[in-house]
Structure 1
């Protein structure tokens, strides 16, 4: 039961809340966690920048006025970085004037919510933004070149041929296919596929990658998995039909 819960949490969309008003941050976190999201809270803008440099969430809820660094400046810097230029950002602020809303959107915020806000409305905006930004996170099927992964039936096909994967190899392939081209370290894959609570050596990832490769490629078929020396593994974004 704990293992299943850890895996579910590891694959849930991750939301970072940067808000210096504890009551608002707690309200947001409670409702987002109840909806199945993984949530992290930070109160200061400078601390948020450090955290964003360490790990990029699936969505950022960002207060306009923050100690350390303002939310406006954080958003501007995120859009200037290649790794975060498409990160979904909802700006949360007490500023309701049209000019201020335009200013927030002009630095790259995807949406703008004025305090006091309706929690159901904010939740709807979160879901809508995640659907637009990462449709693969909610899609029933993932298709990358000749490989099709069906989440409902837990089956994988290559050019119509069913591939026989173990449950761990299935989750590993699913995670890599969600973001083709992105390189995941062994530690990140352990977190996402096995769960943070599981004490497993990072070399275990190499073993399962090897098994996955044998299962999805035979003969002279192209291997869609890339090994990036010193960094980790990715699903090749240039992978096309055999």
Structure 2
């Protein structure tokens, strides 16, 4: 089955164009309309990624991203925003909401496809025979590399692929101060540009996930 990408847009022509581009590259796509439908489909369909067509002055994109990343008890898919040039405030709201990646129009569709392919590879569990490999242990944390599962005090923590890679690197390098450049090399594919603010967002998201579990325990 082809990996599914949900496209949240009110522009039918935009959807037809990008659904064709995605189809040629081996992805399936589905159009979702407003806030409630986007959240419901993300929960029910478990898509590979969600693409937000963010129009100027629209608040829907940040709201959808915040809902998926912060409130739903599901493994959140990567969320990508396509924003208008000059929409600095909208971009800041998306970053605060936990957006995984954003592209400013006009942009080459190949950049979006490259990101989606990289995210798909990161979300695939490694093959290690029939069982999981020996887990990484750090205090109450148990990280299983083959199945990409994280547990704390017996409770499962849902992490996105970037957060999982960051946690793995930090545990494997316990006691060492890791620079942002080192974290980028450890958690992101080589062909993806990542700035310092993006690293800070994902680190904050990882801390929040871990803190939530410790607070509930």
Question: Secondary structure of the equivalent of 1:33?
Answer: helix
The answer to whether residue 109 in structure 2 is matched with residue 119 in structure 1 is yes
Question: Secondary structure of the equivalent of 2:46?
Answer: coil
Aligned position for 2:132: 145
Aligned position for 1:91: 81
Aligned position for 1:135: 124
* Larger Rg over CA atoms: 1
Match of 1:56 among 46, 61, 66: 46
Q: How does 1:1-242 map to 2 (within 5 A)?
A: 9=1, 12-65=2-55, 70-84=60-74, 86-132=76-122, 134-136=123-125, 141-143=127-129, 144-145=131-132
Unaligned runs of 5+ in 1: 1-8, 147-176, 182-242
* Contact 2:39 2:67 (8 Å CA) reproduced: no
Distance 2:17 2:100 in 1: 21
Shift of 1:95: 4.5
Unaligned runs of 5+ in 2: 134-145, 151-217
Q: What's the TM-score, normalizing by structure 2?
A: 0.53
Shift of 1:108: 0.7
* Contact 1:44 1:69 (8 Å CA) reproduced: no
RMSD: 3.0
Cα distance, 1:180–1:104 mapped onto 2, change above 3 Å: closer
Cα distance, 1:22–1:99 mapped onto 2, change above 3 Å: same
Q: Deviations over 1:188-218 (max 9, x none)?
A: xxxxxxxxxxxxxxxxxxxxxxxxxxxxxxx
